[in-house]
Amino acid sequence: MPERSARVAVVEDEQAQRGAITAALQRAGYTVGAWADGADVAPIAAFRPDLAILDVSGSGPAEGPEPDHDSQLSTCFVQSLNSQE
């Protein structure tokens, strides 16, 4: 039985950014689930990711579930800057 690919949850409110991150990860062979926000954690938890990539807004906390510091889930925070900001 083949080993499953790592599962990556992408939580990014900007559709273009979410799509670019998702496409790059899929081309690299990852199984990707993408969400516009992490307000409803149930579908993200049901996806059972190995890694969560969470958007960090310049004016507030990460858009996604609070990391469980006892969890084995790796988390990466990203922020995109707009030249108009």
Q: What is the pLDDT of residues 31-55, one digit of tens each?
A: 999 999 888 888 998 999 999 999 8
Residues with Cβ within 8 Å of residue 7, at least 6 apart in sequence: 30, 31, 32, 33, 47, 48, 49, 50, 51
- DSSP β-ladder status, 51-56 and 74-78: parallel
pLDDT recorded at residue 50: 93
Q: Where are the domains of the chain?
A: 1-55
d(CA 59, CA 54): 15
| CATH architecture, range 1-55 | 3-Layer(aba) Sandwich (3.40)
pTM above 0.85, yes or no: no
pLDDT recorded at residue 40: 82
